[in-house]
Structure formats: structure tokens, C-alpha cells
Structure 1
Amino acid sequence: MKQIDTLLIDLLMDLLANDENSGTCGPDLRWLFTDNGVLVITGKGKMNDYLYRNRLPWYKYDIKRIIIGDGATTIGEAAFKDCSNLTSVTIPNSVTTIGRHAFDECSALTSVTIPNSVTEIGGYAFHNCRELTSVTIPNSVTEIRYDAFAHCSALTSVTIPNSVTEIGDNAFILCSALTSVTIGNSVTEIGDGAFYNCSALTSVTIPNSVTEIGGNAFAGCSALTSVTIPNSVTTIREEALAYCSALTSVTIPNSVTTIGWRAFSGCSALTSVTIPNSVTTIGSGAFSDCYALTSVTIGNSVTTIGEDAFWYCSSLTSVTIGNSVMAILDSAFADCSELTSVTIPNSVTTIGKDAFRDCSALTSVTIPNSVTTIEGEAFKSCSSLTSVTIPNSVTEIGDGAFKNCSALTSVTIPNSVTTIGKEAFRDCSALTSVTIPNSVTTIGGLAFRDCSTLTSVTIPNSVTTIGNDAFSYCSALTSVNIPNSITTIGSGAFSGCSALTSVTIPNSVTTIGGLAFSNCSSLTSVTIPNSVTTIGGSAFSGCSALTSVNIPNSVTTTGGSAFSGCSALTSVNIPNSVTKIDNHTFEYCSALTSINIPNSVTAIEEDAFRDCTNLQKVNIGNSVKIIEMSAFNNCTSITQISSEAVVPPTCDSDVFDGINKSKCKLIVPKNSLDAYKQADQWKDFLLIEGSTTGITNTVYNNSGLADVYTIDGTKRLSKASTDEINALPKGVYIVNGKKIIIK
């Protein structure tokens, strides 16, 4: 069948017109399949498209060669798709269009000659022709459509003629053997992903006709060492040259106005770059992961340095920022670990989140008066930064703005600042002092946590809230002045301030948050004002030097573990306003000798007095209904319990475990004696006595102390405690106008 001319083909087709191996493939086109694997197409005009048809007319044949006779004007869509054994094809000069998917997945096709008559190569036309080593594209072609030669992994070189104006998206994507490409002078646009992951491509010249380099156009061309971008280019789109890891230098011409998102990201061999004055926008991540980049100059026309623009440029030692830049966006220079100094021009108004985060070599920074906001974690973990001056223009220091700046010894916060954000100076372990100006209204949670050398702090009257953990674990802080403007001391606000010896809580405070002063192990005294209504859980837990505490009548709730582990606490006053003793409230208060539970209390919760090993006398008011599990567990020194409740309080398990019930005296109302002797756990006491009257909490003043007179009016004791009154000789006494009997 070799070298068969058109007349012979037509004659053969006429002879075999009724052969089962033949048929029509267009209005005026016929096909014939020969025994030796050759598909012959003859006639004139367009070939049918088969992209959306159920099957090709020659689908069942093993086609090895295709001869298309002169006269056919198109090769139909998907006409020869999946002809996996096709090795050669003859395309006549009459063909003007090669349709979409025409030779898609022809994996054995090694070469193809496209005649000068063809003007368009359709999308996916030669997609995945994995053995195709060479292709000649004639000067007649004006457009190479999307994915036309995608995944042609054996293709080594390609010349795109001057007639072509557009290289479609992904046209040569993953042509991994392609070492060189010549782009004609008429091309205006290199489409997205056009040469994506052509990993053997070492150099490329982009002609002056090109105005736009598409997204991912040369991304992943890991052998590309140089590229010339002509003055005609105005836009370098997203990831255009990303991960060109062998690219050492690039010149961006003055025509470029936009450098797109991650345009040069991952160009890890790129050592320097000059961004011309024509560029107005440096896109997000434009030069991120350029590990070898040592210096960068940003032109005066740039107004925005995008997010992550130079993120992880770990060799960058210097940067010049043009005077037109107004915003340094999030993470713009994050992880530039060799950057020692930076000058931010007066044009900048915003320093974004993480802008200079982890710039661990940065020793100083000048923030200009134009900046109004330092956003979250802007200078986080700048571990060499020793000082910073915040200008009067700044109104907000964002969350974590200077977190982990472990060398920062001093900071001046100007009067313009109204908010110190959460974790703003957390872990600034070298910071010895800080002055908070009168403009500040809010100190955010964890703002100064773990500032372990901070010895003093002045909180101005403008502040209304100290956030959760704001000064927690400032282990060198010896004193703090809480102003009258404060209404809430947040949870954990001064937790772990182990050098804090005393604190005055002003009358403005209504809430002491949970863990507010927990583990302040040097705190010996604290005054809780009458304004406080709530003491949060564990508020003073672990204050092992605290000897006494007065809970005012304003307090209605003490959270669980509020005074747990206050091992030096010898006395405590529980006021009539408290309705329950929360779980673990006085657990491990091992120096506490006596306790009076007022008539307002209805419940003593779990472990409330557990392990109060020196507790000797307990007076339980008449309103207690329930005593929960282990409330007095391991209170081994208790010798007397007085319960004024007429109905024995219900006891959960282990309430009195560890108390010697054969020696401890239980005093109960006389009329309830039998009830206590039958009640669960109360009945275990062997020394149960009935009393007609007793010392109730109503005879005491606010401090828990009372004057005692004999029945004839002689003053016996002044400001006596419960223990002192109970120790009086048997007899009748007058306490605060009420008659009591000591038996």
C-alpha cells in the first residue's frame, strides 16, 4: 500500500465499496481497512467528529498506519483516539484543521508531519502520545490549542513558528524530555501551564511579541537556568516560573506592572532580584521559598507587598522597600531568618499579620509614624530584637505582635495605643519593665505571660479589664497596682507570679476569675473588697504562703478549688452570703484549725475540706442539706463536729473517712439525736451529744469575731473566735445579745 496515489486509492475504494471493512466517515469521505493494518481514507470535505459519539467506525481494528487521501479538509474530533498501535500517519496538504483529541492516546506514534495547510491544532490533539519524539509545526498554524501536546514525554524539541499567536493552556505540559523550545515572534500569550513541569528544559527565549506569561507557564521547569523576559510583557501571572529550582537570576523589565501570586515561588537558586519601578503589585508568595535570595530591591511604584511575598527567603540579609509601599501584608517577610535590619518607609500604614514573624536575626526595626496598626504576630519570634519604638500613630498592638521576642528588654507603648492584644508580649523573657499608657483600655489575654524577668508593671486607670492569663507566670513580678477602673480580673491573670508578695484588689472589682492568683507562692496576704461577688475556681489555689483570708458578705460564689493548696492558711471567714462550699474549695489547707459554715450554706460539695490535716473543730450551719463525697476525707485531727441542722444532712461516700469516730465528739440538736444516730455515716460516731442551744453563725460580726459577756453583764472575751468561745467553762453567756449555753 506504500506510495499509492489518489487515483489508485479511489479505484480500490470503488472495488471494495461493499466490503465489510469499509464505510463512510464524512458526507463525502470513505474509509477502508486493509489486512496489513492500514486505514485508508479518501474523498473530499470534512471528516465526522467522534468525540461525543458512542464509537468510531473502525473501533474494532488494530490500526498501525493511516493514509488520508488528498481532498479531506479536516481530521475529525477524536477520530483516531486510543489507536495505541498507530506508528505513522500521512496528513495531506488539503487538511486545515486537526480536531480535538484527534490522536489522543496514540501512544506508539513516534513522529508526525503537519502540512502547511493546517491552521489550527485542536485541544488534546496529540495528548499522551508518549513515543512522539519530534513534530514539525508549519508556518500556517495560528493557534496551538490547550493540551495539544500534553504528556508527550519523549518530545525533545519543538519550534513554534512565527505564524502562531497563542500557545494554549497546558499545550506542552509534562513534556519531560523537552530540552529546548523556540517561540515565534508572533506569539502574544503563553497560556497557563503551557510548559508546566518540562523538567529537562534548560533555557527559553520569550519573544518581544508576548505581553503575558500565563499562570504556571514554566512552573516546575527544574532545569531552567535562565530566562529572558522581554519589555513587551506587562503581567507575570500566578506561579509562572514557580519551582524553577535551577534559575539563578532573572531580569524583570520595566514594562511589567504585576507579579502574580507565587510567580517565582520555590526558585531556590535565585540569589538576587530587582523589582522595577513599573511594578505596582507584588502578589502573594511571589518569591516565597527562594532560599538563596540574599537581597531584594523593591521599586518606588510598588504600593502593596502581598501576603507571603518573600516568605522563607532564609538567606535574605537586606531589603530595600520603596517609598510608595502602603501595606506590608501577612507573612510578607516571615521566616527570613538572616534578615538583620529593615527600614519601613513612611508610606506604610499597615504591617500585616506575621509580616516579620521568625526573622530571628532581626536586631532592630524602625516603625514609622504612618503605621496605625501592628497586626497579630507581626514580629513574633524575632528572637534577636532587643528594642522597639512604637510610634504615636499606632492605636492597636495586635495579638501576639511581639510574642517570643526573647531578647526584647524594653518597649515604649505610646499614648495612642488603646488595645494591647492577646499574647502581644508573651514569652518576652528579657523584658524587665513596661509602662502602659493611660490610653489603653484593654490588656488582652496572655498579653505578658511568661515575661519571666518583668519585675514591675503599672496598670493605668484607663484599663477596665485585665484579660485571662495576662501576667501569668511573670515569676519575677513582686508587686502590681490594680487601679480602681478594673471591674474584672480575668482567669489566670496573675497565675504563677511566684514572687508576688501582696496585692490590693480595688473596690471596683466585681469578679476575680478562676486561677487569677493561683500558685502565687509568695503571696502572704490579700484583701478582697466588698464589691466582689464572684471568686472563680482555683482563684487562690496553691498560694502556699497565704495565712488568712476574709471573704466579704458580697461574695455569693467561690468556685471549685478557690483556696485549694493554701497550706499556710490558718483562718478563713465564710460570710452569710455564700450558699454552698464548692468542690475542693479548701482542699489541702493543712494549717486550717477550725471552720464555721454559716446558716446560708445548703451544700458542702465534693472534697471541699479534704486533707485539712490540722482541722480540729467544725461547725455546720442549720441549712446544710447535703455533704458530698470525701468532703472531710483525711481530716485526721478533727475532735469536734457541731451540726445545727435539725434533719441530718445527707452524706455521700467517704465524707468523714480518716476521722477517728470513736474519739471525735459530734454535737447535734437535742431533738434530732435519734435521727443522727440512725443516719448514714453520722451513726458511725460513738460520741454523739444533744444540745438545746449552740453557738450559731448569727452571733458573729462580719469578721467572724464576737464579744462575750457572762449572764450578769461582765465582759469575758473581746473579739473572740469560735474556738475561744467553745473553750469557755460550762455555763450561760451572752454573745451579741443572744443567750448561749456552753456544756
Structure 2
Amino acid sequence: AFSNCTGLKSVSIGKGVKVLNGSVFEFCSSLSWVEMRVGLKAISDHAFGSCTSLKRIELSDSVYHLDKYAFYGCTNLQSIKFGKGVSEVSPYAFLECSALVEFIVDEDNRSFVSINGSLYTKDLKELVHYPSARKEPYFIVPKGLVSIRTGALLGPKYLKRFVVEEGNGSFIAEDGVLFSKDLREIVRYPAGKGRSYSIPYGTLYISEDAFFGCSLRNMVIPDGVRTIGMYTFYGCTSLTSISLPGTLYSVMDHSFSKCSSLKKVYLRDTIETLSVGHCAFAFCDPELRVLSDVPGFEVEPFEMKGVEGFYIPEGELPMFSGTLGLEWESVSDQ
């Protein structure tokens, strides 16, 4: 209804409004003040997407649900206060809120609590969101923490290492990098840690968001890794090339989106079939090339938004036809 109203500066949401529908205030770039009165119950996806002038949000006590991408791209949002009614926060509700410093939670809220500005479930068993602009160089994983919600750690650039309290049964830190206790899954790499990293052998899974917003230039993914999760390397703008292991069978949605310097993807010769998700390589370098000599290799179609020309040199990937649009098609489908 108000999407792209770039002159809109303030909004008071009346008692009769129960739900803010998707994209209702999206791209209202001058919107800097929002009043939410009691009565509002839910904020849908992209409702405040790219409202880049918002700095603080206070949710009324009646708001109970925040949908995915509710505040996506609010790059100047610094503080969010939860009323006592908030009980549901979807993954990626605060995607690309790069200035976020703190969550404040009403002491009567039964679902969430704020510890040092970070958002946890009330029982402290799950980290819901760690503000991206926190300046602490390390994050201490509490003894009782059981899980980290998808979208909880979205590239805090000052974070250089994880420290796991003794007695934690779910996580372990290796050289400052967070893994599952059995070391089969890499959970999070500190965004400010370094420019080069080799994932240890024995790792089978790379978690969603694991390298989100990191400053990595070089990355080695060993054989054994089977899946690369959603948003895993999203926004790794310094990453120029990556080699995908022969054991890999799935690259999920947005895995390499906005890796704006990514020019080369190497497919190892033991790959048989690879499923590539929606927008997995969106907004990478326009000259992105896939290099491989894998005979009979097949891939499912995927979108290449932001890439005007996707060049596959003759002989390097002979089982594909390159397109100049949004899809990459297998010759076997023609």
C-alpha cells in the first residue's frame, strides 16, 4: 500500500490494524519513526524491508509474530524493543540489519530474553539473534545452549572467535570456529577471523549462514562435504574462487548470493549430480565461470539474477548449454 513512498517519514499504526501485510512499507527510505499501538498482532515478510532511515523500533505488547525478512535491509536499524507479547520470530527477520546493536525485551515476555544485547529464548537454550554490529571480538557459547537458530549470526564483522563453555553438550570450538560436538558440521565461522580457511576433513555439512558476510578470499572445501546450506557464503564479497568437492550433491538457495567478486567455481571430477538451489549464485561477478571436465555431469536449472552473461567455455563443461539470461540448462533436457 505504501511501498516506495520515499517521502514518507513517520507512521502511526492505529488500534484497528491487526496485521502489517508483506511489503507494506518496503523501500520507504525516509521512514524514521513508527508508532505501533496495541492491537497490532503480526508483521509480515518485507513489511519494513529496506526502510534505511529506521534506527529504533518498539513493538507494542500485542505484537506476537515477526515474519521472515520483516526488517530485511534496514541497514541503520540499531535497536529493537520487544513487548511482552512477542512469541514468534521467523528466520532472517533481521537479514542485512548491519547496524543492529541490541535487543531489549520486556521483563514480562514469556518467550524471549536479552543477554548483553543478544536475543535468546527464555530458557536460554537457543540463540535467536546476535546483533551484527556488536563489537566484542569473541562470543561465549553458554554451557546450556543447545541450538543456534537459522539467521541468528549474520556476519558480525568484529567477531573473531567462538569460545564454548566447558560442559556444553552441543558445540565445540576448533581454532575459534564453531562446530557441532561431533565435528560433522561446521556451524559458524567468525566473520572477522581471517581471509583464508580450509574446512577440516571429516566435515560432512556446512550449516546455513556458516560463512555469511565473511571476508574470506580463499576457501578449501574437502571431499566428504555433502551439502552447502542456505545463505552459507552470502555476501562474501572478497571471495574470488571456490572448489566444490566431488562428494557434494546439494548447493541450497542463496548459498553464494552477493559474492560480488566470485569469478570461478571449480567442480571436481568425481561429482555426478549436483542440485543447485534458487538464486544460489545471484549477484556474483558478471563473468562468473564454471570450470570442470566432469563427463556426464548434470545439474538442475537455477537462477542467476544479476549475472548478465554466464560464460561456459567450450570443452570445460561440454554437457551444458550456457545462457545469457537467468537459467543454466542441462543438455540432457533438450
Taking structure 2 as the reference length, what is the TM-score of the superposition? Answer: 0.49
User: What TM-score do the two structures reach when normalised by structure 1?
Assistant: 0.25
Higher relative contact order (CA 8 A, sep 6+): 2
Larger radius of gyration: 1
